[in-house]
Amino acid sequence: MNEMLHGIRVLDFTSNAAGPCCTGMLADYGAEVIKIERPNTGNDERTYGIQVDGMSLLGAWLNRGKKSVTLDLKDPDSIALLKRMVQDCHILVESARPGVMDKLGLGYEAIHAINPKLVYCSVSAFGQAGPYSKKPGYDLIAQAMSGIMDICGAQDGPPVKSGTTLSDYVGAINAFGSIMTALRYAEQTGIGQKIDVSLLMTMIYLNGAVEYLNIGQKLTRSGNHHNTLAPYGLFEGKNGQSIVLAVISPKLWAAFCQVMEKPELADDPRFHTLQQRRANAPALIALIEDWLKTFDDISQAAALLDAAGIPSAKVFDQEDVWTDPHVLDQNYLVDVPTPSAVTSKDTFKARGCIAKFSETPGCVKRAPCVGENNEEILSRYGMTAQEIQALQDRWAKS
């Protein structure tokens, strides 16, 4: 298989979610990602979520396709070794609290002096500099401080956090693209550099604020309905099911009234124009939800709307997503080989690569067990199997 990043070597010091997801993407496209993790237990993401035979499946997804080398970063022997390894790596990614890599002797300046062509990417909650840079950062805090939470939820209710670790994932995708851009530049010019990716800035990027910044108009929560269009938003049916609906033209409004078998509403003075529909939004919403509640399964309503060409969709739960014929048709559900320590199943299911490439499709590969590649990797740097074992034994006792 042609792999876009074949021959690219990555030293990966990341832990938790954002950093490992980013380096997992590098592995999907064929980079050799050498995960440096703590001896014995390995890094924290190995404990996340459900475990099979003692291995976290989420951890296995985050660390897909990587090689694991265990090193105790408090041991000067480890640092000396890493400084040799850095010489023939192209990318280094780390997600420690700002300042920690410097203290270890692995900060950007030290590494750049050894390998000026290397792309050094730091992923952190708040960025490498500034008043909050050394504060503990969590996905939840980046969501709160980006303003994203404040614009989610009902107007008369509290802000709403995302149900997923949004900043971790979007931060990972940002770091990936930023690294690729700098890698290409480094290969062409010989100029490596430091990239500072912060979860907070990534989340702020998603929250435009052009209006606020230029005319002082603050965006607030508008609940599940659009500020200016109607009907446009989320509508509830029976049994907790709901749909989204985007009726964006007079023609679609007339068609929608037909679907509801209430053609008279199209000319109803409460709902005839967009202005009228907005002015009578509560009545409009109630009427649509009454109609939706005539269906035991909201998919039936969605099918009618779809047939009439009205932009709409059932609000999918995870089961709907992963049984949907279109999603399945994308070959986005993949079987990932389990880490070798998992004996009860050969593969687990996960989503595939984030984009489809016609000539060089990525591949989600097996994650390593803790220290699985110690000998393979460290022997390249002149260590014998005995020396490697002696180091690991020393750390096991400490």
Residues 320-379 that bind a copy of itself (CB under 8 A): 320-322, 324-327, 329-330, 332-333, 348-351, 354-360
Helix (H) or strand (E) holding 19: helix 18-28
In the set 319, 343, 382, 398, which binds a copy of itself (CB under 8 A)?
A: 319
In the set 151, 254, 279, 281, which binds a copy of itself (CB under 8 A)?
A: 151
Catalytically active residues, by annotation? 226
Using rule CB under 8 A, residue 317 touches a copy of itself: yes
Identify the CA nearest to 53 among candidates 335, 349, 340, 350. 340
Tell which positions 29-48 bind a copy of itself, by CB under 8 A. 29
| Contact flags string 195-214 toward a copy of itself, x per CB under 8 A | xxxx-xxx-xxxxxxxxxxx
DSSP 271-317: TSSHHHHHHTHHHHHHHHHHHHTT-SSHHHHHHHHHHTT--EEE---
Query: Which among 33-41, 55-63, 81-89, 97-105 is the span making contact with a copy of itself, rule CB under 8 A?
Result: 55-63
Using rule CB under 8 A, residue 91 touches a copy of itself: no
Using rule CB under 8 A, residue 1 touches a copy of itself: no
CB of 76 to a copy of itself, least distance (A): 27
Give 1 or 382: the residue with its C-beta nearer to a copy of itself.
Answer: 1
Quote the CA–CA distance of 253 and 286 in Å, as a whole number: 16
Identify the CA nearest to 192 among candidates 111, 99, 107, 95. 111
The residues that bridge with 67 in the sheet, in sequence order, are: 34
Quote the CA–CA distance of 176 and 357 in Å, as a whole number: 16
Tell which positions 162-191 bind a copy of itself, by CB under 8 A. 162-164, 166, 169-170, 173-178, 180-185, 187, 191
CB of 135 to a copy of itself, least distance (A): 8
Using rule CB under 8 A, residue 288 touches a copy of itself: no
Using rule CB under 8 A, residue 80 touches a copy of itself: no
Residue 159 CB neighbour total at 10 angstroms: 15
CA distances in angstroms from 227 to 58, 109, 148, 238, 275, listed in the order given: 38, 49, 17, 25, 12
Quote the CA–CA distance of 200 and 143 in Å, as a whole number: 7
